[in-house]
């Protein structure tokens, strides 16, 4: 026979029940949809990642051209090398910080007296953002076709790949040989296009050099070439590319970069007349799954759009953030905290928020997680927990709101970042600058749509697994 509950235990039980009921009612009072869950189940695992590729079950949009988006260290990457281990958390932090620093430096270095139209119609003259993304697409270049893996980057302009003859190239990545392609045409110095690019010349060929803030670089010649997607019959002819004979820094299997920013040199801009200046992507929830990079197609009714800032002089994709909620509770933050632009960026990993917004987010998140002890990790991610004693943890949902009432309810895979054996950190940080950044970790499983014609960015959940 069970022992009767003591009066002290009974009082504690009643108080706990009252607090839990109050929390539930509080969340319901703040809910937009009364049936919506404001806590997610986070599965805690110390097991190594699977080495089996899981194809996304989501079909591409009707009338679109789609490339698989894969993690360069994951099993879905056909060019993955055994010599390239997955990035350590320390390395991810290092590259992410360089990416953020380079975005800030690039925006500061812009000539603020230039008009927006001048910037959009000319080649950016500043040092480019450091390419930090771990996600690549495989495209085919030349005639006959040569497949090369490229980092997809909404913060870069030019599409470039390493070429033979190579003075210094990535040894573990495919190298394109332009002498074997019948469609390759080096851009002559005398061409109007080369003069508009305001670049150098060597042996009557138009040359380029891109320097990144992380001290990596790419140098070579400009050329026009045919770009293909392996499942399409259509080829994109006379695309301006960079054929790099000299690259610096290390490669993890990629041959170059596919630039997708708003400058005229980007692949999205060069194919705008074919795809009505529309492209989208979805970053998968884990390295073992595939996402997509899609051009054109029909836009789903599930996509909700927010306008691109028309005051920005940069080629980044800026929109206006209007609020944040945690566990269904809207943060009480003065609207002035969100006057700055928010960049939707594929290269930065973690989302950076204005100081007031971040501190309020952190406080409420910690309040809702107060049943778990904080773990000091001595990194800029300052809200970390050791879940060694748990197999599943309920964590509060986080939503980010943008102009025109657009809500991005972040997937559970994009809230807490694993930094060690069963140690997880809130994947947000503070940035005391005139810009905030929505990183790719928070964009997971969302279809993010870039509509250049209507100058807007859209979001829809469930775009990939």
Beta carbons within 10 angstroms of residue 399's beta carbon: 17
Best CA proximity match to 410, nearest among 68, 100, 40: 40
Q: Tell me, what DSSP letter sits at residue 422?
A: T
Query: CA 380, CA 439: separation in Å to the nearest integer?
Result: 15
The first and second tokens of residue 387, run together, are: 């879940």
Q: State the residue for tokens 């069970």.
A: 2
Which of 96, 345, 411, 465 is catalytic? The answer is 345
Query: CA 314, CA 435: separation in Å to the nearest integer?
Result: 12
Query: CA 136, CA 162: separation in Å to the nearest integer?
Result: 15
465 is catalytic: no
Query: CA 13, CA 15: separation in Å to the nearest integer?
Result: 6
Q: How far apart are the two ends of the chain, measured CA to CA in Å?
A: 50
Whether residue 455 contacts residue 295, with contact meaning beta carbons closer than 8 Å, is answered with no
Look at phi and psi of residue 455 and say left if phi exceeds 0, alpha if psi is from -120 to 50, else beta. left
Whether residue 416 contacts residue 39, with contact meaning beta carbons closer than 8 Å, is answered with no
Q: Residues with Cβ < 8 Å from 289, sequence gap 6 or more?
A: 53, 54, 55, 56, 74, 76, 464, 465
Which of 96, 153, 318, 465 is catalytic? The answer is 153
* Per-residue buried b or exposed e for 21-45, using 16+ beta carbons within 10 Å of the residue's own CB: eeeeeebeeeeeeeeeebbbebebe
Query: CA 45, CA 3: separation in Å to the nearest integer?
Result: 37
Alpha carbon 372 to its chain centroid, in Å, reads 30
Query: CA 122, CA 437: separation in Å to the nearest integer?
Result: 24
Q: Residues with Cβ < 8 Å from 206, sequence gap 6 or more?
A: 186, 187, 188, 189, 191, 193, 194, 197, 199, 200, 221, 222
Q: Tell me, what DSSP letter sits at residue 372?
A: S
Angle (nearest 5°) at CA 156 between 347 and 311 = 95
345 is catalytic: yes
The set of catalytic residues is 153, 345
């Amino acid at each position: 026979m069970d022992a009767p509950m003591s009066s002290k235990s009974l009082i504690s039980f009643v108080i706990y029940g009252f607090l839990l009921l109050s929390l539930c009612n509080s969340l319901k009072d703040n809910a937009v949809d009364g049936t919506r869950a404001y806590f997610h189940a986070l599965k805690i695992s110390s097991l190594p990642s699977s080495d089996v590729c899981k194809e996304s079950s989501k079909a591409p949009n009707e009338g679109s051209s789609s490339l698989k988006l894969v993690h360069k260290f994951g099993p879905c990457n056909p060019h993955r090398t055994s010599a390239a281990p997955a990035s350590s958390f320390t390395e991810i932090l290092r590259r992410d910080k360089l990416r953020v620093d380079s975005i800030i430096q690039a925006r500061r270095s812009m000539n603020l007296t230039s008009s927006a139209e001048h910037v959009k119609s000319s080649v950016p003259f500043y040092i480019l953002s450091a390419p930090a993304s771990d996600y690549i697409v495989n495209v085919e270049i030349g005639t006959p076709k040569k497949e090369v893996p490229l980092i997809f980057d909404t913060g870069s302009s030019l599409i470039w790949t390493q070429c033979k003859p190579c003075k210094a190239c990535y040894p573990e990545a495919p190298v394109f040989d332009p002498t074997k392609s019948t469609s390759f045409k080096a851009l002559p110095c005398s061409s109007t296009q080369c003069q508009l690019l305001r670049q150098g010349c060597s042996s009557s060929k138009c040359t380029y050099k891109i320097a990144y803030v992380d001290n990596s670089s790419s140098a070579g010649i400009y050329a026009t070439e045919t770009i293909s997607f392996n499942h399409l019959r259509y080829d994109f002819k006379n695309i301006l590319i960079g054929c790099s004979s000299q690259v610096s820094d290390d490669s993890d299997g990629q041959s170059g970069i596919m630039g997708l920013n708003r400058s005229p040199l980007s692949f999205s801009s060069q194919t705008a007349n074919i795809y009505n200046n529309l492209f989208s992507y979805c970053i998968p929830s884990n390295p073992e799954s595939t996402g997509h990079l899609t051009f054109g197609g029909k836009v789903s009714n599930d996509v909700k759009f927010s306008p691109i800032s028309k005051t920005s002089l940069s080629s980044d994709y800026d929109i206006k953030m209007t609020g944040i909620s945690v566990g269904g509770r809207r943060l009480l933050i003065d609207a002035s905290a969100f006057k700055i632009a928010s960049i939707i960026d594929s290269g930065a990993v973690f989302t950076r928020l204005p100081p007031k917004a971040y501190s309020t987010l952190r406080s409420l998140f910690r309040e809702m997680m107060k049943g778990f002890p904080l773990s000091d990790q001595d990194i800029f991610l300052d809200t970390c927990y050791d879940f060694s004693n748990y197999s599943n943890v309920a964590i509060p949902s986080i939503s980010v709101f943008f102009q025109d009432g657009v809500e991005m309810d972040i997937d559970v895979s994009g809230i807490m970042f694993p930094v060690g054996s069963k140690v997880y950190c809130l994947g947000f940080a503070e940035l005391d600058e005139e810009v905030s950044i929505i990183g790719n970790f928070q964009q997971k499983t969302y279809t993010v749509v870039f509509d250049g014609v209507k100058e807007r960015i859209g979001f829809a959940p469930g775009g990939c697994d």
